[in-house]
Structure 1
Amino acid sequence: MLGAGVFVALAPAAAAAGSALLIGLAVAAVVAYCNATSSARLAALYPQSGGTYVYGRERLGPFWGYLAGWSFVVGKTASCAAMALTVGVYAWPAHAHAVAIGAVVALTAVNTVGVQKSAWLTRIIVAIVLAVLATVVVAIATSGGTDASHLALHDASALGVLQAAGLCFFAFAGYARIATLAEEVRDPATTIPRAIRIALGLVLVVYAAVAIAVLAQLGSAEMASATAPLADAVTAAGYQGLTPVVRVGATIAALGSLLALILGVSRTALAMARDRHLPQALAAVHPRFATPYRAELVVGAVVAVLAGVLDLRGAIGFSSFAVLVYYAIANASAFTLGARLIPVAGLVGCLVLAFTLPVVSVLTGIAVLLVGAALYAAVGRRV
């Protein structure tokens, strides 16, 4: 989660809602909390790889499980490409695509040899990113150049706020990867719900602090047009020496996001392959490392190709739409368990945010979902 929103999603959210992006962030957090609660309940009941693919199948029927899995795989594959491109843009802009491909290859190799090594590397990445973000917030707060009037609301529309929320939701979507690892953790009924809620709470605090600091320094108009808003903010605050630090932090953050994304997509692909909704060869588990190595390699290859052709902001919008559909199915699945207030709020929130995203993202997302449904009609019923 850390990296995707801080370094990528806040600028387009500011373009959609201006200073009201803070309201959008709050709305996204509420929807994410509902999704997290529903996901945690379902993960405790079904501790299997696949996340909402499994929950939808077991609670709503095979098609809905398939549609959730399809949405997750295609949406997060696009998100993988977006994060890989973010690595390239921040690390070496002149060779962004080559760097992106190299990052995908390296992290696919890390994931293939086992989740323990992936978790170890993730802990280091998160520690570095948090240190960089804390430095940025403190530098801006102590510069004396912030303007509280930048936080005031100016002509914010409801549609703009909802678009900002949908784009900010991209930043919170990482907790799904916790549920997809249910077969690979100890005591999943306790560990997974706790991990989801702690991760979501910590990330919300970090995102709010960073968004307020950068918005107070730059204002919504400058923030919306910035390609690297955090770097611009520390420069405007008079700390030009921190700009390289921010760029390194952004690169590391994007690598951390990419690491977790590839991990989650491959596990959902594993579950779908086991049910023959994807080629059965992808269900192979490595005899030594106990990882779905074929799914890892195929996902890595597809992401490497997409990183060379996709537009960064367009990939974010499409990924947000697909993942919101995924969570809508998760909430619908949790609705069948009782205690229905949160699942209903989550379901409605997901659908509203999904269909108020930019038009191109919505139309592309609908088209891809229809392709998935057609494939299910052609193949899925024979499984």
Structure 2
Amino acid sequence: MVIGLGSMLGAGVFVVFAPAAAAAGGAGLIIALALAGFIAWCNATSSARLAARYPESGGTYVYGRERLHPFAGFVAGWGFVVGKTASCAAMALTIGAYLWPGRARLVAVAAVVAVTAVNVRGIGKTAAATRALVGLVLAVLALVAVTGAPHVAPDRLDGLADIGIRGVLTAAGLLFFAFAGYARIATLGEEVREPERTIPRAVPLALGVVLAIYLVLAVVALGVLGEERLAASAAPLAEVVTAAGLPGLAWLVRAGATVAVTGVLLSLLAGVGRTTLAMARRRDLPGALAAVHPRYRVPYRAELAVAAVVIVVVALGDIRGAIGFSSCTVLVYYAITNASALTLGRDPERKLPVQLLAALGLVGCLVLAVNLPAASVLAGFGVLALGAAWYALRHTGRG
């Protein structure tokens, strides 16, 4: 559960409320957050069931291959790699926005270089470090909530009559970015005792805690800053503390955000590198990326390639564009997760209607994906189409 909290409480909570508020407005933000949390729960339930059946690394890349078709597995893996690469860029830009707003891109590039240098030497984040990270993040978020709560203006939470369904769906798709990471629990199938019992318990607990934290912070941020100011903010949680009359504490929030997001960036870059390695070994990506360092035993070429792409995205893109693109491709990834779970059939040992949750998750992921900002949808499905073309050409060549 701690690993799940450490994976989710990263860049998303520090930045995603702003574009979501711009899309859905005030009260729509709260509804969108609840919707994103529910779909994340459906996805997590399906991920947990599949992880118990296939306790190996690879996630939906494996599930899609085994339960549906190798092409479905490829699309999932490709979507994960490109989507999480964009997530890495968003996290790096979040570090820049909080640490040095005037030089956000430069700081972001430096963060990617530093984290990659750590990863290629084989230094991973341990469970103990994850606990420390979670403790730090919770302390920073508690500071924001406590300082902001007395300054919440109830009138800033109004506006239910002005909510548009499209805006709520767009915001929910963007807010899904803040929940991304719960599947990391499911990928631990090879490393935990009794995965069929442990993982299904850890996933909903971690998601429930995170959703409660996000709801509190969304209400505080919206109630203190108001819809327009929140929508325009690059570092909303730091701005909450400033608006509450304690600008001296804003740097504490900025420093905490920097450390927290750096920790998640460290693990996520490593995870994308390893998924790239798995796909390269099966020739779903260029075989040259499958090289493992003879001394440090890490997929250094994959790590360096991912880092290079992240730096390009950081230099050319922005946080909101990266979040939208990442959400689109990762929602497709989880749509395949739910489709794979549907093939498992009913589970008589579980009280939850798992087949219904998988069906709702599948539909929900696709609905949220197509309702994201148009540029994100076009870029996301365009990159997925390029991957599908690569897959078709490779298999045509084999034939």
- What TM-score bracket applies, with the shorter chain setting the length? over 0.9
Deviation at residue 189 of structure 1 after TM alignment: 3.9
* Residue matched to 2:352: none
d(CA) in 2 for partners of 1:63, 1:99: 38
2:9–2:178 contact (8 Å) kept in structure 1: yes
User: Residues 227-242 of structure 1: matches in 2 within 5 Å?
Assistant: 227-242=234-249
Structure 1 Cα separation of the partners of residues 66 and 38 of structure 2: 26
CA distance in 1, matches of 2:132, 2:118: 14
Q: Distance in 2 between matches of 1:266 and 1:241?
A: 39
In the alignment, what sits opposite 1:356? 371
What is the CA deviation profile of residues 157-208 of structure 1, one whole-angstrom value per residue up to 9, with x for unaligned ones?
A: 0111111100100111112333345445555444444443333222112111
2:125, 2:267 within 8 Å by CA — same for their partners in 1? no
Normalising by structure 2, report the TM-score.
Answer: 0.89
Does the aligned pair in 2 maintain the 1:71–1:325 contact within 8 Å?
yes
**Counterpart for residue 77 of structure 1:** 85
1:294–1:214 Cα change, 3 Å = same
1:181–1:104 Cα change, 3 Å: farther
CA drift of 1:290 comes to 5.0
Aligned partners of 2:190 and 2:229: how far apart in 1?
45
The answer on whether the counterparts of 1:269 and 1:282 sit within 8 Å (CA) in structure 2 is: yes
Which of residues 353, 356, 367 in structure 1 aligns to 2:382?
367
In the TM superposition, residue 112 of structure 1 has moved relative to its aligned partner by 3.6
Identify unmatched segments of 5+ residues in structure 1: none
Q: Deviations over 1:321-352 (max 9, x none)?
A: 00000000000000000132111000000000
Q: Return the letter of the residue paired with 2:51.
A: A
The SS at the match of 1:88 is helix
Contact conserved, 2:29 with 2:168, CA < 8 A, in 1? yes
SS of structure 1 residue aligned to 2:125: helix
CA displacement at 1:289 relative to structure 2: 5.3
| Aligned-residue identity in percent | 63
Give the whole-Å Cα distance in 1 for the aligned partners of 2:191 and 2:297: 9
CA contact (8 A) 1:50 1:272 kept: no
- Rounded to whole Å, the distance in 1 between the matches of 2:119 and 2:127 is 9
Which structure 2 residue ranges, 5 or more long, are not aligned? 1-7, 347-354
Q: Does 2:156 match 1:150?
A: yes
- Residue 58 of structure 2 is matched in structure 1 by 50
Displacement after TM superposition at 1:114 (Å):
4.3
Which residues in structure 2 correspond to 1:19-38 (within 5 Å)? 19=26, 20-38=28-46
Q: Say which of 319, 325, 344 aligns to 2:359.
A: 344
The one-letter code of the counterpart of 2:153 is: D
Alignment partners' CA distance in 1, 2:49 and 2:188: 15
> For residue 226 of structure 2, what is the aligned residue in structure 1?
219
Partner of 1:117, secondary structure, is coil
CA RMSD of aligned residues (A): 2.1
Letter in 1 for 2:154: A
The CA deviation at 1:39 is 0.5
Q: How does 1:276-291 map to 2 (within 5 A)?
A: 276-286=283-293, 290-291=297-298
TM-aligned CA deviation for residue 154 of structure 1: 4.4
Match of residue 338 from structure 2: 331
Distance in 1, Cα, partners of 2:267 & 2:317: 20
Question: How far does residue 51 in structure 1 lie from its aligned partner after superposition?
Answer: 0.7
Q: TM-score, normalised by structure 1?
A: 0.93
Q: For 1:127 and 1:380, how far apart are their aligned partners in 2?
A: 48
The number of equivalent residue pairs is 381
